[in-house]
Structures are given as structure tokens and as C-alpha cells.
């Protein structure tokens, strides 16, 4: 799947898909610029379908989790969970997303090497021109800590 197809322009609460051109304020920017920004970002980024199945991860996501794109593509984001995050947090997360709001919080995840880490995560709905959520954008700004186990 092409990243150019996935990118959108954002207002304060939502993003909107506009085909192959990106709007930023008043100017139109080329999709390649957005692609390069995501690829070069130090923020771990993933894009999922509506069921949280991973469609894309950038190199920073791969550094944080230990999984390269081909290993994790198609897996559900829950694949990364250490399974110790309270169910209520996931219920809150999905309720926010159903309301087309961004959710932010800290999740206990498991790295490919088996170590646990606290992931500061923001997940935003990505909507199309009709206002329907079509993807989710996950951003993992940093790893708070990493411990063996």
C-alpha cells in the first residue's frame, strides 16, 4: 500500500484524505515530502486498518519495537502488548477512536527481544472526505524505560 494514499491534512481534531496532493495551510506540498518526513522522523509511526492490523511502520517504529516492517505488517497492534495493560485502558482508547478523537496514554509493550518497555502512544483517527474513519495513525514519541524479563 502506498503511503501517498494514506497521508492526509490535519485540522485540530481530524485529518482528511485529498487524493495525491497534500494541503498544508494554503500551499500544496508534494506527497513525497510527507513520505520522507515520516520515514526520517525519530517518532515511531504506524498506520493500521480499522481493526488495528498494521499496514505500515517507519524505521523509528522498527528501532523501538525491534520488528522490521515485513515481520509486523499484517499483525494486530495488540501483538506488541505485554498483556499487563488494564482492559479499561483499551476500552477508553477504542471509545475515543469511535468518537474520532485522538487517544494518548502509556502502554506496557514487549520488544522483539522479550524486554518490556513503556510506550508513550498517541493514536489518531484518519478520516476520508466523507468524514468516515478509514485508518488509524499511531505515534510513539519515546520509550520511557526498558527492563529485562
Q: What is the pLDDT of residues 79-138, one digit of tens each?
A: 999 988 899 999 999 999 999 999 999 999 999 999 999 999 999 999 999 999 999 999
pTM for this predicted structure: 0.78
DSSP 50: T
Q: What is the mean pLDDT of the chain?
A: 83
Which has the higher per-residue pLDDT, 14 or 129? Answer: 129
Q: Which CATH number fits domain 3-147: 3.30.450.20, 3.30.70.120, 3.40.1390.10, 3.30.1330.20?
A: 3.30.450.20
Amino acid at each position: 500500500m502506498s503511503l501517498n494514499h494514506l497521508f492526509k491534512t490535519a485540522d485540530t481534531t481530524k485529518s482528511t484524505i485529498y487524493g495525491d496532493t497534500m494541503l498544508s495551510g494554503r500551499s500544496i506540498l508534494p506527497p513525497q515530502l510527507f513520505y520522507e518526513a515520516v520515514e526520517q522522523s525519530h517518532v515511531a509511526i504506524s498506520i493500521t486498518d480499522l481493526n488495528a492490523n498494521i499496514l505500515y511502520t517507519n524505521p523509528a517504529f522498527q528501532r523501538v519495537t525491534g520488528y522490521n516492517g515485513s515481520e509486523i505488517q499484517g499483525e494486530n497492534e495488540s501483538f506488541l502488548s505485554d498483556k499487563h495493560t488494564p482492559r479499561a485502558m483499551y476500552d477508553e482508547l477504542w471509545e475515543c477512536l469511535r468518537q474520532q478523537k485522538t487517544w494518548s496514554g502509556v502502554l506496557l509493550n514487549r520488544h522483539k527481544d522479550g524486554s518490556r518497555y513503556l510506550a508513550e502512544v498517541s493514536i489518531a483517527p484518519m478520516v476520508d472526505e466523507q468524514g468516515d474513519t478509514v485508518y488509524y495513525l499511531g505515534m510513539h514519541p519515546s520509550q520511557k524505560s526498558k527492563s529485562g524479563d
